[in-house]
Amino acid sequence: MAIKMLVSKPGKDVLTSNSPDDFYLHSDYPLLKVHSYGTFSFNVAIGQTTVYHNLGYRPYVLVFSQAVLDDSGNVSSEYYQHDWTISGATVMWLGETRIYTDRIVIGVEQSNAARGGTVYGFYYIFKDEVT
Amino acid sequence: MGYELKITKPGYNVLTETNPKNFIFDSSLNHLKTVSYGSFQRTVSAWGNSVVSIYHGLGYKPLAMAYFRNTSNNNYFITMGQVNPEADSRVGIRYNVELYLTNNYLYFGLYNFTSGSITFEVKYEIFYEGI
We report the CATH number of the domain holding residue B51 as 2.60.120
Report pLDDT for B86.
Answer: 53
User: Which is nearest to A49 in space by CA: A61, A39, A60?
Assistant: A39
Report pLDDT for A53.
Answer: 97
Same domain, B98 and B37: yes
Per-residue pLDDT of chain A (131 residues; tens, 9 = 90+): 678 899 999 999 999 998 988 999 999 988 999 999 999 999 999 999 999 999 999 999 999 999 998 889 999 999 999 988 777 778 888 899 999 999 999 999 988 888 888 999 999 999 998 76
Residues of A in contact with B7 (CB under 8 A): 5, 27
- DSSP letter, residue B72: T
Q: Count of A–B CB contacts within 8 Å? A: 92
Strand order across the B95-101 sheet:
A34-43, A118-129, A59-65, A79-81, B95-101, B105-112, B49-55
The partner residue sitting opposite B29, judged by closest CB among A34, A39, A83, is A34
C-beta atoms of B82 and A84 within 8 A:
yes
- Number of domains, chain B: 2
C-beta atoms of A80 and B131 within 8 A:
no
Helix or strand holding residue A64 (H, E): strand A59-65
Same domain, B26 and B38: no
Contact between A34 and A127 under an 8 Å Cβ cutoff? The reply is yes
Give the nearest chain B residue to A29 (CA atoms).
Answer: B24
Which of A 15-54 lie inside 8 A of B, CB atoms?
25, 27-35, 37, 39
Residues of B in contact with A128 (CB under 8 A): 21
Report pLDDT for A75.
Answer: 92
Q: How far apart are CA A127 and CA B26, in angstroms?
A: 11
Report pLDDT for A63.
Answer: 95
Same domain, B59 and B99: yes
Chain centroid to Cα B124, Å, comes to: 5
* DSSP-derived secondary structure for B74-97: ---EETT--B-TTS--TTS-SEEE
The partner residue sitting opposite A5, judged by closest CB among B7, B21, B101, is B7
C-beta atoms of B101 and A29 within 8 A:
no
pTM of the model: 0.87
Q: How far apart are CA A56 and CA B118, in angstroms?
A: 43
C-beta atoms of A25 and B25 within 8 A:
yes
CATH H superfamily, domain A32-129:
Immunoglobulins (2.60.40.10)
Report pLDDT for B87.
Answer: 53
Residues of A in contact with B66 (CB under 8 A): 81
User: Which is nearest to A116 in space by CA: A70, A50, A85, A77?
Assistant: A70
Same domain, B86 and B59: yes
Domain map (residue ranges) of chain A: 1-29, 32-129
The partner residue sitting opposite B100, judged by closest CB among A29, A31, A81, is A81
Q: Which residues of chain B have pLDDT under 70?
A: 1, 80-93
User: How close, in Å, is residue B12 to chain A by CA atoms?
Assistant: 13
The partner residue sitting opposite A33, judged by closest CB among B26, B65, B85, is B26
Same domain, B38 and B97: yes
Domain around B10: 1-30
Same domain, B55 and B118: yes
The partner residue sitting opposite B20, judged by closest CB among A29, A33, A84, is A33
